Amino acid sequence: MNRSRNWQVSEAAFSHRYLRAIALVCILGLLLIVALPALAQSPRRVQIINGHVDPGGQAVYRLSGLQQNQRLYVYVETVQGNLDPFVFILRSGEDLGDLIERYTHEMENAANDTDPSAAINAVRDRFTLAWDDDSGKGYAAALEFRVPEDDDYLLVVGGSFSTLGRQTSGYYRLSVGLDAPQVLLGEAEPQGQPFARLEADVIRPDARVEELTGEISAQKTRQRYNLIDFNPGDTFYAYVEATSGDLAPALILRDFGDKPLSAANLRGSSRNSSLTFKIDERLKNASLEVFDGHGNNAAASGHYLLWLGLNAPEILTGQAQPSELPVVRQPIEVQIGIKLQQIANIDQKNGFFNAVGSLQMEWTDPALAFSPDSCQCSEIIYTEKEFDRFLADVNGRWPDFTFFNQQGNRWIQNKVAVRKPNGRVIYFERFTTDLQADLDFRQYPFDVQQFLIQIDLLHPHNRYFFVDLPGFSEVSEDHGEEELIIQDFKTDITSVQSSTQQTNSRFTFSFEGPRHLIYYVFRIFIPVLLITLISWWTFLLYDYNKRIEVTAGNILLFIAFSFSLAENYPRLGYLTFLDALMAMVFIINALLLVYNVYLKRLEIDHQAGRIIQIDKALGWIYPLIYLLALVVLYVIFF
């Protein structure tokens, strides 16, 4: 009985172990079934690529050796600029040039559809194997693609919605991975062998051609051209030929520190020369010099034709056509205007005026562009307290300026900078300051004074230059000046030589100020006229003692009157019209006093007949003397 029971127990234990073994084998088999396909696939590969897209441009990458059922992960985010990245995948056998042309044509048609967004997405679905716009963080593009078959594929990166008038461009960071889903988080690190390369043979990166002319002379022995920033993979081409004179043009390409990178025709052995330079890493602030290859001791001069190309080798064969995009860095246009809102004081004695006004500048610098998703805003506003942050964000890249004729401090009541995603910046400030005025009183009080507000850029003309800001500048009707009539203003842009021997741009806001003459008519001219008439009316008196008393009293009155006037305008090193007028009246009145004394002597000598003849003649000559004196003063001062 016990043996039978023990056997039954052993049999149950054996069955339980057997079942556990079967279950374990099944689990292992299932794991092998699941794991073997994964093990058969290639290991994870992640590649990080930095690139640049110009407005309306694309960057094309060839993805080599992709295998069926692999998962391709793509993530594109903006690093600098306002690029809104868009990415799509094509088969490698596509005629990309023809496809891009047809794609662009249909996208332009879709933009005119009643529902352009839906129509554009339909075009993308029809032309691509897969695409994405904003699936990543902010405006970043994120894409997952299952490889349908073993083959090479093309990955295209561009700017989104360029057909809807929103041209975006800038630098991007492209993360592309095989069977590496962490790419979609934007946090992947490079691993494995690279499998994506720029397909420069399909679409040339950033191809540009520019044609220029210039002259080498004894006054200008070298011409220097500041070039745009170059990206890794770019190739710079230059070709120059003499078109007149005995010039043998030579070329030197220099980097940001003036270090020569490449040169051609330094010995002046040819009437033309060319150079080619491959860019291995990003190059900023490079320049190209053109000069005569015979050396500085030679007197060779003449005109030349210069072709510059970026990724455009055809300029070396003479087959190039100028493109819309330049190779030479163009100076940035800065629009500027001033509103003169109040003239607090015109200090005529010390030669300055106190102005309250508003200054506004506007410029567009692509280097200051940003992606709206970085702040989830359509613009960034920097108030006065945040202006240091503005300077930090733009890395000090802005058209700094100074008031050339400023005296003392400029008190900025408030200022603000507005930065747009496309690199457009608007700067505004309201200021109060004293400004020098070169006043000329020679025609006082009929003088018309010129007042200037002069603003100089601190950067040379080849980086920034002023132009007038349309519709902004004005003189407020409530400017507050009472003595002068502030008339129409004008603005002017000129170039000046700075103390550093550079050419800088100057903006001049000028206005004129003639005087309100009613004050001078009643306070000066009418009293002077009355003094003159009183002197003239003394000719009606035959009591020469009274004449002498009246004339002497007029002179004393005139002297006191002159002293009271002298307090109202500065002591100058020259005579004004009013000074000359007062001096003329004083001299004539003094001579009249002498004349009356002379008549009294004649009366004492009993020469009445002679007195009547002289006095009658001088009675008519006296006003003519004033008239003649006024004519002389007018000729001298006007």
Domain boundaries, the chain: 45-198, 208-316, 332-514, 519-637
What is the rounded average pLDDT for all residues in the chain?
86
Please report the pLDDT score of residue 352 as a whole number.
Answer: 92
Q: Residue 211 corresponds to which amino acid? A: E
Query: How is 11-48 classified by DSSP, letter by letter?
Result: HHHHHHHHHHHHHHHHHHHHHHHHHHHHHHSPPPEEEE
pLDDT of res. 80: 85
Fold of 332-514: Acetylcholine Binding Protein; Chain: A, (2.70.170)
Cα–Cα distance measured from residue 186 to residue 79, given in angstroms and rounded to the nearest whole number: 12
Dihedral sign, CA of 208, 213, 219, 221?
positive
Q: Which CATH code is given to the segment(s) 208-316? A: 2.60.120.380
Query: What pLDDT band is residue 81 in, cutting at 50, 70 and 90?
Result: confident
> What's the mean pLDDT in 577-592?
89
CA distance 417 to 386: 9
Stretch 512-518: mean pLDDT = 90
- Position 107 scores a pLDDT of 76
| DSSP-derived 3-state class of residue 249 | strand
**Which is higher by pLDDT, 13 or 87?**
87
Q: Where are the alpha helices (DSSP H) in 480-543?
A: 517-520, 526-537
As a whole number of angstroms, the distance between CA 85 and CA 141 comes to 6
Least confident range of 25-39, 325-339, 369-383, 428-442: 25-39
The structural architecture, per CATH, of the domain 519-637 is Up-down Bundle (1.20)
Where b means 16+ CB within 10 Å and e means fewer, 602-613 reads bbeeeeeeebee
Segment 427-439 shows an average pLDDT of 95
Across the range 166-192, mean pLDDT stands at 88
pLDDT at 9 over 50: no
Higher pLDDT, 195 or 501: 195
Poorest-pLDDT segment among 103-117, 231-245, 465-479: 103-117
Same topology between domain 208-316 and domain 519-637: no
Maximum mean pLDDT: which of 61-75, 309-323, 492-506: 61-75
Total H helices, total E strands in the chain: 9, 28
What is the structure's pLDDT at 164? 56
Considering the chain, what percentage of its residues have pLDDT values greater than 70? Answer: 90
pLDDT band of 7, cuts 50, 70, 90: very low
What are the pLDDT digits (tens) for 318-366? Answer: 888 898 888 999 899 999 999 999 998 888 888 899 999 999 999 999 8
H/E element, 513: strand 503-514
Strands 448-457 and 401-403: antiparallel
pLDDT confidence band for 405 (50 / 70 / 90): very high
What band does 39 get if pLDDT is binned at 50, 70 and 90? very low
Residue range 542-559: average pLDDT? Answer: 86
Most confident residue range from 32-36, 220-224, 275-279, 556-560: 275-279
Is the peptide bond prior to 460 cis by the omega test (within 30 degrees of 0)?
A: no
**Dihedral of CA 199/205/211/216: which sign?**
negative
Q: Decide if pLDDT at 12 tops 60.
A: no
Reply yes or no on whether the pLDDT at 563 is more than 90: no
Q: Considering the domain 45-198, what is its CATH architecture?
A: Sandwich (2.60)
Confidence of residue 19 (pLDDT cuts 50, 70, 90): low
- Name beta bridge partners: 593: none
Identify the residue with better confidence: 455 or 6: 455
